[in-house]
A and B are shown apart, each in its own frame.
Chain A
Amino acid sequence: MTAPPEGSFLSGQLPTAAVEPAAASELAAAADEPSLGRRALTSLRRDPVALISVIAVIVLALVAVFAPLLAPHNPLQAYPNGLASNGAPVGPGSSFLLGTDPNGRDVLSRLIFGARVSLLVGVVATGLASIIGVLVGGIAGYAGGIVDSVLMRITDVVLSFPILLFCVALIAITGPSTRNVMLVIAFGYWTYLARIVRGLVLSLKEREFVVAARTLGIGHRAILRRHILPHLVPAIIVYSTLGIATSILIEASLSYLGIGVPLPQASWGQMISQGQQYFQTAPWLLVAPGVALVLTVLAFNLAGDWLTDLLDPETSGDRR
């Protein structure tokens, strides 16, 4: 048998020459990608709606933090000149920019402090819900098997209660207070995050780099910390932002029903409830807190949407 020709299959050689490229061309082959911060700024510049919503969220946060400095009056104080001679609340004017409530308290100041309550409750409740949700969903998804089934049944059970009714029942039992409101919302909301995190962990578990880490001999805790958790962060951020919007709505609903943030503290929901009876004589009592609520929730929803667009392509991993 004559020797097989060069480069042919049977000769045992590869058809192309194996040349080692110089280091320079290696670096050229590797690309440079803009950082997350830069991408965020570019996308904000392009999308005015998102830009406005992000600014609004920042402004709201500042208002909440600096409320005592910004409010023109004391929100808890009933001012004698706040009520007209017949005892009716005073309309918007020079001394009270948005009028007064039936007790003679300044609406604008109460509105500003109400922002503080809403944001505080929103952030704390959502933060707590995120921690619980990530723990439950993460363990359920990663451990699988019977742990997963049990945790998911528990999540299903809590999810079956309409969240507002659930919070109402819990508050009725534990008593209304700001702290209870935060806890109660967290106990209702964690289930949504748990479901999402579990789904993400289930698919992450099968990714080749997780399998590779197991093959290297890396332990479960290190894998969860180094490989799984970083991939959960974008979804957690997005759902937390939307969660703040939901928490604010629930707190407002609870306060409207009279079992949320207790008087005399100012809360938008409570102000609306008060304003109900006065909508013929003092419509500003109803309109002001309502508009504040709508704009706040809208801002968080839009910011959440923008974050989804920004972070989502990343969750699928970098691809060339």
Chain B
Amino acid sequence: MTDPAHVQSRPDEQTAAAPPVVDVRDLRVHFKVHRGLFGSQLVKAVDGVSFSIAAGETLGLAGESGSGKSTVARTLVRINRPTDGSVLLSGAETARLSGQELRAYRRRMQMVYQDPYDSLDPKMTIKDAIGEGLTVRGVPRARRKSEVEELLARVNLPVALAGRYPGQLSGGQRQRVSIARALAVSPEVIVCDEAVAALDVSIRAQVLNLLKDIQADAGVSYLFISHDLSTLRFMADRIAIMYVGRLVEYGTSEQVFAAPAHPYTQALIAAVPDIAALGGPRPAPLPGEPPNPASPPPGCAFHPRCPLAVELCRTVAPPLVRKANGQLAACHVVPDAPEVAR
């Protein structure tokens, strides 16, 4: 079944001859949770998500807890295995890889983790941690030292830190070491899973700017996962919003932030504290809480909290179609773009 989201996934890009670096189609990741002696429940953490990332581009993936965004990240680097769907890297299918081929795939897609404390082995020096990445790439021992120094310089860390242990570094420094480690294998794509969420706000800017510099230099693509829309506004070229395992909105940064189509996106944007809007009218808060991914509401999963919900929303899940401003959104109520409505 051709998903309209896929066909129209690059809303305003000129028809590029090269395939996107990452092309995810109808990704499903289901977990079986055991209850009692014989019962088990299927948790559909990711239920039919499609997106693509071009070379040198950043796709932001936003959503609250339970939305499945972290699962998407971890599935892309194969910490979890996809239940269904395909993950194409430069046009080649990678979802079912194993063994040697999986190892080769792993080098092309790396991850920077949320926790700056636990993602580095406390008993390994910085240069050994980065060196591990170099081993994977097959860098000979002789060149190890100079490459480590190069990478440290790349992430703006003084070479003197190479012999230290992670416990002696600050959170921001550790995160930069993680970035250096990821860069050591020369990946095409780096998945940043809430990479700056645990850092002090003043440090975040440093790390985000660093990531942007690296992207400009090396042409790496990013899948940037975050619950913080202001960060995404800064980092992402295109944005996808997830709710309970599905995409609800998907378009360029300008499209989504200027005129959000889906009511959930609107609520998320309205909830961001905006210094410029202080003293103005307070936006209406979103009622209720995100549902349990193990038992989502029927029809549109958002309907119990949605101010626009109608009868149809309770029974039929809305497809992802192009809306008036140009981006894709999954909503029965919001008017479609003229060419679709016809």
A and B touch in the complex (CB under 8 A): yes
Q: Using CB atoms and an 8 Å cutoff, list the residues of chain A in contact with chain B.
A: 4-5, 7-10, 12-21, 23, 26-27, 29-33, 207-209, 211-218, 226-227, 230-231, 317-320
* Residues of the B chain whose Cβ atoms lie less than 8 Å from the Cβ of A217: 103, 106-107, 136, 185
Give Cα distance in the complex from A18 to B178, angstroms: 20
A18 touches B119 (CB 8 A): no
* Residues of the B chain whose Cβ atoms lie less than 8 Å from the Cβ of A19: 206
A27 touches B158 (CB 8 A): yes
A212 touches B113 (CB 8 A): yes
Residue of B nearest to A22 (CB): B158
B132 at the interface (CB under 8 A from A): yes
Give Cα distance in the complex from A180 to B41, angstroms: 53
B40 at the interface (CB under 8 A from A): no
Q: What distance in Å separates the Cβ of A72 from its nearest Cβ neighbour in chain B?
A: 48
A29 touches B173 (CB 8 A): yes
Give Cα distance in the complex from A214 to B120, angstroms: 13
A230 touches B123 (CB 8 A): yes
A27 touches B275 (CB 8 A): no
Tell me the interface secondary structure of chain B in the complex. Answer: helix
Pairs of residues from A and B, 6 with the lowest C-beta to C-beta distance, nearest first: A318-B167, A8-B276, A217-B106, A18-B205, A208-B118, A317-B122
Known: A27-B160, A30-B169, A217-B185. A9 touches B136 (CB 8 A): no
Identify 15 new A-B residue pairs, CB closer than 8 A, beyond the known A213-B121, A216-B106, A216-B185: A9-B272, A14-B204, A14-B205, A18-B205, A18-B206, A21-B206, A23-B158, A27-B161, A29-B173, A209-B121, A216-B133, A317-B167, A319-B167, A320-B117, A320-B167
A207 touches B118 (CB 8 A): yes
* Residues of the B chain whose Cβ atoms lie less than 8 Å from the Cβ of A30: 161, 164, 168-170, 173
* Residues of the B chain whose Cβ atoms lie less than 8 Å from the Cβ of A7: 275-276
> Would you give 17 A-B contacts (Cβ < 8 Å), ordered by A?
A8-B274, A12-B234, A14-B230, A14-B234, A20-B156, A26-B161, A33-B165, A33-B168, A209-B122, A213-B132, A215-B78, A215-B79, A218-B136, A226-B121, A231-B123, A318-B165, A320-B167
Chain B residues 223 to 250 lying within 8 A of chain A, measured CB to CB, are 229-230, 233-234
Residue of B nearest to A26 (CB): B158
Known: A9-B274, A14-B234, A217-B106. A209 touches B205 (CB 8 A): no
Known: A16-B205, A18-B209, A209-B119. A9 touches B230 (CB 8 A): yes
Give Cα distance in the complex from A85 to B154, angstroms: 90
Q: What distance in Å separates the Cβ of A4 from its nearest Cβ neighbour in chain B?
A: 6
B233 touches A10 (CB 8 A): yes
B277 at the interface (CB under 8 A from A): yes
A-contact 0/1 string along B192-218, CB 8 Å cutoff:
000000000110111011000000000
Residue of B nearest to A209 (CB): B121
* Residues of the B chain whose Cβ atoms lie less than 8 Å from the Cβ of A5: 275-276
B209 touches A318 (CB 8 A): no
Tell me the interface secondary structure of chain A in the complex. Answer: loop
B124 at the interface (CB under 8 A from A): yes
Which of the residues B115, B204, B205, B272 comes within 8 Å of A208, measured between beta carbons? Answer: B115
A-contact 0/1 string along B160-198, CB 8 Å cutoff:
110011111111010000100100010000000000000
Residue of B nearest to A229 (CB): B123
Which of the residues A216, A227, A319 comes within 8 Å of B110, measured between beta carbons? Answer: A216
Give Cα distance in the complex from A112 to B261, angstroms: 87
B139 at the interface (CB under 8 A from A): no
Residue of A nearest to B115 (CB): A208
* Residues of the A chain whose Cβ atoms lie less than 8 Å from the Cβ of B167: 31, 33, 317-320
B164 touches A208 (CB 8 A): no
* Residues of the A chain whose Cβ atoms lie less than 8 Å from the Cβ of B165: 33, 318
Chain B residues 262 to 292 lying within 8 A of chain A, measured CB to CB, are 272-277
Give Cα distance in the complex from A14 to B272, angstroms: 13
B157 at the interface (CB under 8 A from A): yes
* Residues of the A chain whose Cβ atoms lie less than 8 Å from the Cβ of B166: 318
Residue of B nearest to A24 (CB): B158
Give Cα distance in the complex from A12 to B229, angstroms: 10
Residue of A nearest to B274 (CB): A9
B257 at the interface (CB under 8 A from A): yes
Give Cα distance in the complex from A226 to B275, angstroms: 48
A-contact 0/1 string along B108-138, CB 8 Å cutoff:
0011010101111111100000001101100
Known: A16-B202, A319-B117. A212 touches B164 (CB 8 A): no
Q: What distance in Å separates the Cβ of B116 from its nearest Cβ neighbour in chain A?
A: 10
* Residues of the A chain whose Cβ atoms lie less than 8 Å from the Cβ of B181: 212, 216
B88 at the interface (CB under 8 A from A): no
A9, A10, A207: most-surrounded residue (chain B CB, <10 A): A9
Known: A32-B168, A226-B124. A9 touches B160 (CB 8 A): no
B43 at the interface (CB under 8 A from A): no
Q: What distance in Å separates the Cβ of A16 from its nearest Cβ neighbour in chain B?
A: 5
Give Cα distance in the complex from A211 to B78, angstroms: 10
A-contact 0/1 string along B21-58, CB 8 Å cutoff:
00000000000000000000000000000000000000
B77 at the interface (CB under 8 A from A): yes
A320 touches B133 (CB 8 A): no
Give Cα distance in the complex from A33 to B77, angstroms: 35
* Residues of the B chain whose Cβ atoms lie less than 8 Å from the Cβ of A211: 79, 113
* Residues of the A chain whose Cβ atoms lie less than 8 Å from the Cβ of B205: 14, 16-18
* Residues of the A chain whose Cβ atoms lie less than 8 Å from the Cβ of B111: 212, 215
Give Cα distance in the complex from A105 to B35, angstroms: 69
Give Cα distance in the complex from A3 to B172, angstroms: 32
Q: What distance in Å separates the Cβ of A213 from its nearest Cβ neighbour in chain B?
A: 7
Give Cα distance in the complex from A227 to B124, angstroms: 8
